[in-house]
Amino acid sequence: MSVIGPAAAMLAAAPPVGGHDVLTLLTSSGPVVQGVLYILVFFSVASWGVIIHKARQIRSARRASDRFIESFWETKNLTTVHAASQEMGDSPVAQVFRAGYQELVRLTRAKRQAEEAQLSTDLGGVANVERAMRRAATQQLTQLERALTFLATTASASPFIGLFGTVWGIMNAFLGLSTTQSSSIQAVAPGIAEALIATATGLFAAIPAVVAYNSFSRQIRVLSAEMENFAFEFLNIAERHFLN
């Protein structure tokens, strides 16, 4: 599928500008303005791909985490919870639990072996479980935040790229007055209209990106808070029942 498709459809639906069709203005524009438009269309299509992917990923993570937290508090057996968490790979909270549970199992097993051998060994206790859960939470946040930088770049850079195309087009439009007999606004209107399309395309790429970036950032902060709160609760349970 051509990357120019979405932008072309949008521009084809726009009203004529001063008797000139928008697509005609684009095809007659200079190579610099056309290059700017192609860059902006690439940013727009790529950002929409990222938006769709991240929306699905975060929605799946939120729903899976809600199911896991509900299952965790309804089930008293941690082994059963661990078995259920293996089927919830989309849940960041479940992955944090698995890391803490596996470290807890390793510690309790080593503690039992040391007691049977009548050895005194400092195994680290709850601090080891906390480090394991923090490491898992960091990995999950890294996965959730992946590609958000591209949205931020699109949101911040696209308007300036479009503005560059506009400035360049207007500059050429006024320079073209030196080669014409007329100095009226009609002589430069097509060039100015063509240049302003670059700014419109830049905004078309930037606005969805900035809205999506802010929305995803807020949802990821909520998931991060859920992982942190769950880690505190799990550490309390581990310290109270297993690592005394």
pLDDT at residue 19 in the model: 43
Q: Which helix (H) or strand (E) holds 147?
A: none
pTM: 0.78
8 Å CB contact between 208 and 74: no
Q: Which residues contact 109 (CB under 8 A, 6 or more apart)?
A: none
Per-block average pLDDT, block size 10, for the chain (244 residues)?
A: 44 47 64 87 95 95 92 86 86 93 86 63 73 94 93 94 87 70 61 80 94 96 94 87 68
DSSP H helices in 75-91: 78-85
- How many whole angstroms separate alpha carbon 39 and alpha carbon 43? 6
What does residue 64 show for φ and ψ, rounded to 5 degrees?
A: -65, -40
Query: What's the pLDDT score for residue 118?
Result: 57
* pLDDT value at residue 26: 63
Return the pLDDT at 15.
Answer: 47
Q: Where are the domains of the chain?
A: 21-241
Task: Look at residues 36, 39, 44 and name the one whose alpha carbon lies nearest to residue 198.
Answer: 36
- The pLDDT of residue 203: 93
Q: How far apart, in Å, are the Cα atoms of 195 and each of 17, 150, 199, 203?
A: 12, 26, 7, 14
The pLDDT of residue 140: 94
* Six-digit token string for 45: 């299509």
Q: Is 5 left (phi over 0), alpha (psi -120 to 50) or beta?
A: alpha
In contact, 191 and 173? CB cutoff 8 Å: yes
The pair of structure tokens assigned to 99 is: 């890391």
Give the per-residue pLDDT at 45.
95
Provide the 3-class DSSP secondary structure of residue 30.
Answer: coil
Which region holds residue 147: left if phi is over 0, alpha if psi is between -120 and 50, else beta? left
| HEC letters along 210-229 | HHHHHHHHHHHHHHHHHHHH
Residue 174 to residues 22, 171, 180, Cα–Cα distance (Å): 20, 5, 10
Whole-number Å distance between alpha carbons of 57 and 22: 37
